[in-house]
Amino acid sequence: MNTMKWLLKREYWEHKGGFFWAPVVVSGLLALLTIGSMLFATAAGSQGSFHLDGNNAAINLQQALNDISDPQKIEFAKGLAVGYPAVAMPLMFTLGFVVFFYCLGCLYDERKDRSILFWKSLPVSDRDTVVSKALTALVVGPIIAIAFALALSLVVLFTLMVLAALHGLNLFGLVLGDTNFYLVIAQIVSFIPVYVLWALPTVGYLMFVSSWAKTKPFLWAVGVPVVGGVILTWVNALAGSPFVLESYWKIIVARGLGSVFPGSWLGQVAETNVNMNPDNAVSVLLANTYSLLGTANLWIGVVIGLVFLAGAVRMRRYRDEG
Amino acid sequence: MSSVLHATALSKHYGKQAAVDRVNLEIQPGRIVGLIGPNGSGKTTTLKAALGLIPFEGELKVLGFDPRTQRDDLMKEVCFIADVAVLPRWMRVRDALDFVAGTHPKFDRSKADAYLAKTKLKPTMKVKEMSKGMIVQLHLAIVMSIDAKLLVLDEPTLGLDILYRKQFYQNLLEEYFDEGKTIIVTTHQVEEIEHILSDLIFIREGKITLNTSMDEIAERFTEVMVGSEHYAAAKALGPIDERSVFGKTVFLFDGINRSTLAPLGDMKTPGIADLFVATMKGTYA
């Protein structure tokens, strides 16, 4: 009896819209946009309207690409080999939104539509249920989003290289021969464990509010910290600034509510990316990300997240659906 | 075998209001128990306490488990339909069966499939596309395929038409119930479950006002249709209720010997509905 597997499936069935169709639509749009503009550029380029390096002589794409020197070509391929997943960044942003609203709804909606009475008629503990929902937000959602991100990135990259090759610029050997091309995939996947830890306090908090709120979980979850900040601002204005508001907004609002957005940790660590270049970009980002593991910020967040999740289990156990 | 449900001084307060007020209750296995009471009498609260859905005061053991601390074990042996239409609306018939099969060790998938084959439900149908009656069919198919020791039904047929209601109880009785199982059911449609019950519990304002077997009801309660000439004599025996029908008076007696009542007029055993109305008088006054 593999209860957890079924619980995760259940969450996926119910929230397929957010975890599957949202990335499908966003990747589709991104593919359309990037590939469309590449096709447009090549079409326009074959008419000969390229201006390179401030050179006013209009040349066509073929000529423009032929003019690229070998060192330039190598630089370009290096950049592509490491930077191609950048096209999928909006998917990570989408993921942040999906996870945010999923967490906010997952323990509230089942009470609202009373389906909790069905779920609770089965021999599944509240702990397992809450854990399955947290795992959906922290692991399943990100894995699906990253799979889409990589697929989209590869499609866009290969389209670009095919188009370039058709116009006389063959980058296949250089890009595919670059170890970064493969490494970057592994590196992106290895962001997931950090995401799990980093997003935990927000996921825990939102799920707790979801399990507790009688109505309007969004207003409670977002309204309370924001109104709190506004009140503190007033107190500061009237009483000569007894509070350090900057850290309130930074810790409670940005970290507390925003940590479900992948990469939101990057502003929080000592910047060592001064010398970031195509050769080391991903490893620098990854090193920055993993340097989080040495910060109190991350681990305090983990503890707070777990406390909130325990609270959500407790709430679900006895919260009367009315 | 020990009792299925054992409550001692079971209480549940909402604020200062007692929804369930120091109830003592004992339910034996192999019974079909009707828990009958007006709206807000504490039926659902009692059941929720038994199912570990809410905290409560007092002592309560269901199948030997404390619903507060041993709910996870309890739910392997107990099944319930808490209300009509609580199946998640996005779910397909197939998903529902897959999920229950994956999470409930006592679920028999083939039973559920066989039962559903007799309905108009299709595996790909979503709950939100179904009528209320069809949702209950699906829920019943699931519940009947779980080999639970105790089945709790809280208004399982509310809002269904009479065809679905009849079918529901018929299925339950013919294809599910056996001496190893116990069913507790609450409903407002008392006439419809009268013939399937083995025990009857009336609850009013959080207290149990009647707890008896159906056999005992025939022995204890008698309805007598009395002409005006015997009115005073009947009244003197202390009826618990009286009402006028066609110029005669129908008296309801509790615990009066039938030989004493026979001279007064025609006797019969009252229906649950009449008994209910008689004992609940003044509830909403």
Residue A109 has pLDDT above 90, yes or no: yes
Residue A56 has pLDDT above 60, yes or no: no
CATH of domain B5-205: 3.40.50.300
Interface residue of B12, B47, B78, B103 to substitute, partner A, most A CBs within 10 Å: B103
Angle at B35 between CA B34 and CA B40, to 5 degrees: 150
Alpha carbon distances (Å) from A142 to A30, A38, A135, A267: 18, 29, 10, 20
Mean pLDDT for chain B overall: 90
Distance CA A73, CA A75 (A): 5
CA distance B204 to chain A (A): 20
Distance CA B247, CA B258 (A): 23
Give residue B257's pLDDT.
85
Distance CA A281, CA A278 (A): 5
Among chain A residues, CA nearest to B140: A118
Distance CA A196, CA A215 (A): 28
* Number of DSSP helices (H) and strands (E) in chain B, helices first: 11, 13
Distance CA B52, CA B66 (A): 8
Q: Report helix, strand or coil for B95.
A: helix
Give residue B30's pLDDT.
92
Instruction: Give me the torsion for CA of B178, B182, B186, B190, rounded to 10°.
Output: 40
Q: Report helix, strand or coil for B266.
A: strand
B55 touches chain A (CB under 8 A): yes
Output the pTM of the full model.
0.89
Calculate mean pLDDT across residues A216-220.
93
Distance CA B223, CA A155 (A): 84
Residue A68 has pLDDT above 80, yes or no: no
**Residues of chain A contacting residue B86, judged by C-beta atoms under 8 Å apart:** 113-118
Which residue from A110, A117, A317 is facing B83, i.e. has the nearest CB?
Answer: A117
Does the beta-carbon distance from A10 to B75 stay under 8 Å? no
What residues are paired with B223 via a beta bridge? B252, B268
Distance CA A207, CA A36 (A): 40
Within chain B, where are the H helices? 43-50, 71-74, 93-103, 109-117, 132-144, 162-171, 190-193, 214-220, 231-236, 258-261, 272-279
* Number of DSSP helices (H) and strands (E) in chain A, helices first: 19, 0
Burial class (CB in 10 A: 0-12, 13-18, 19+), B139: buried
Q: Which helix (H) or strand (E) holds B59?
A: strand B57-62
CA-based nearest residue to A189, from A286, A269, A293? A286
B101-154: pLDDT as tens digits:
999 999 999 999 999 999 999 999 999 999 988 999 999 999 999 999 999 999
**Position A144: which residue type?**
I
Give residue A272's pLDDT.
55
What percentage of chain B reaches a pLDDT higher than 90?
52
**Residues of chain B contacting residue A6, judged by C-beta atoms under 8 Å apart:** 98-99, 102-103
* DSSP string of B203-248, one letter each residue: EETTEEEEEEEHHHHHHHEEEEEE-GGGHHHHHHT--SEEEEETTE
ipTM of the complex: 0.90
pLDDT band at A216 (very low <50, low <70, confident <90, very high): very high
